[in-house]
Amino acid sequence: MIPTPVAAPAAAPPAHITVLLHEAVDALLHAGCNPDGCYVDGTFGRGGHSRLLLSRLGPKGRLIALDRDPEAIAAARAIDDPRFEILHARFGELAQLDLPPLDGLLLDIGVSSPQIDTPGRGFSFRADGPLDMRMDPTRGESAAAFLARASQGELAEVIRELGEERFAGPIAKALVARREAGRPLERTRELAELVGQVVKTREPGQDPATRTFQALRIHVNAELEELEAALNASLALLAPGGRLAVISFHSLEDRRVKRFIQAHSKDEPDRRAPMAPPRAMPLRAVARVHPSAAEVAANPRSRSAVLRVAERVAERVAERA
């Protein structure tokens, strides 16, 4: 008797391990927080931070989550909680949203594991897929489209500045030569192989294409511009005592977060009135947190993560001495 063929089970979705989960939630829902306040998770992802936040909010608390990725939005729809709302939006649009004063704002910057591990999204050089890289594939220009139109100078600048790639010039030259030969890049493996032919040396354990892929992803998604917009919006959105918590994964992001907090947390003297008290600043730096050794061992992708936390201070009028 011939057995009836059995269809192979569908592949499980890529697992996602939330980085600095408890540290980020503890930073927002600390001892002096308002558990019945309004909080925003600006990067829902697969909901690790959001679910823990909901478990610790009070009965009157409210959590608004944002994400630009339609797959993340679909995952968020599974949360059945009247205190929770999901919006298909970029965190760079925070200033344009109709939000109440916030008791906490969380930003988990960068690409998520499901995006990296799904070849069809085009984020990774480790598996072949369309050269897309958009966090929201329904909007904007794909990486392939950018590579098909950008000048050699523009390509070199993007790869140098956003990938911190010292071979940006030769890579850009090779990209344009490939395009002019009538073979435009359309697949991730094609790009990885081209970069590998140009970059002959690299740090141990790092693929030659790592920095180029990072640069294109950041450019295609305007990630640094989105971060700057969200940070600036936080000053107006956070209620006194409300906290900003930002998790970044590489130096380009972390430098901007660090400088933003420093610039808005140090009282400045008024040079026109040197005897007057310093001008009060809107933020107070609270903490900088790295993953524990145990977390890095369990999830190597967390090794470069940095959590920075700041608190909105109450406005105060500086009195003249």
pLDDT digits (tens, 9 = 90+) for 289-318: 999 999 999 999 899 999 999 999 986 533
User: Which CATH superfamily groups domain 136-220?
Assistant: Putative methyltransferase TM0872, insert domain (1.10.150.170)
Mean per-residue pLDDT for 73-86? 96
| Best mean pLDDT range from 105-114, 192-201, 239-248 | 239-248
Give how far Cα 160 sits from Cα of 146, 166, 287, Å.
16, 6, 31
| Structure tokens that stand for 105 in this block | 């704002």
DSSP state of 313: P
The pLDDT mean for the chain works out to 89
268, β-bridge pairs: 279
Measured CA to CA, the distance from residue 88 to residue 72 in angstroms comes to 9
Measured CA to CA, the distance from residue 155 to residue 163 in angstroms comes to 11
Radius of gyration of the chain (CA): 22
Pairing of strands 238-248, 62-67: unpaired
Measured CA to CA, the distance from residue 206 to residue 204 in angstroms comes to 6
User: Which CATH superfamily groups domain 21-112+223-258+281-312?
Assistant: Vaccinia Virus protein VP39 (3.40.50.150)
Phi first, then psi, for residue 127 (nearest 5°) are: -140, 150
The distance in angstroms from the start CA to the end CA of the chain is 98
The residues spanned by each domain of the chain are 21-112+223-258+281-312, 136-220
**What pLDDT is stored for residue 14 in this prediction?**
44
pLDDT > 70 in the chain, percent: 89
Asked whether the predicted pLDDT for residue 278 surpasses 70, the reply is no
Measured CA to CA, the distance from residue 310 to residue 292 in angstroms comes to 21
Q: Please tell me the number of Cα atoms within 13 Å of 121 on its side-chain side.
A: 23
| Of 281 and 188, the one with more pLDDT | 188
Closest CA to 29 of 49, 11, 43: 49
Write out pLDDT tens, residues 152-177: 999 999 999 999 999 999 999 999 99
Common-topology check for domains 21-112+223-258+281-312 and 136-220: no
**What pLDDT is stored for residue 319 in this prediction?**
36
Write out pLDDT tens, residues 223-275: 999 999 999 999 999 999 999 999 999 999 999 999 999 999 976 555 665 55
| Structure tokens that stand for 158 in this block | 């993007």
Residue that has been written with the tokens 């904007």 in this structure: 140
DSSP state of 182: T
Mean per-residue pLDDT for 126-138? 94
Q: Is 127 left (phi over 0), alpha (psi -120 to 50) or beta?
A: beta
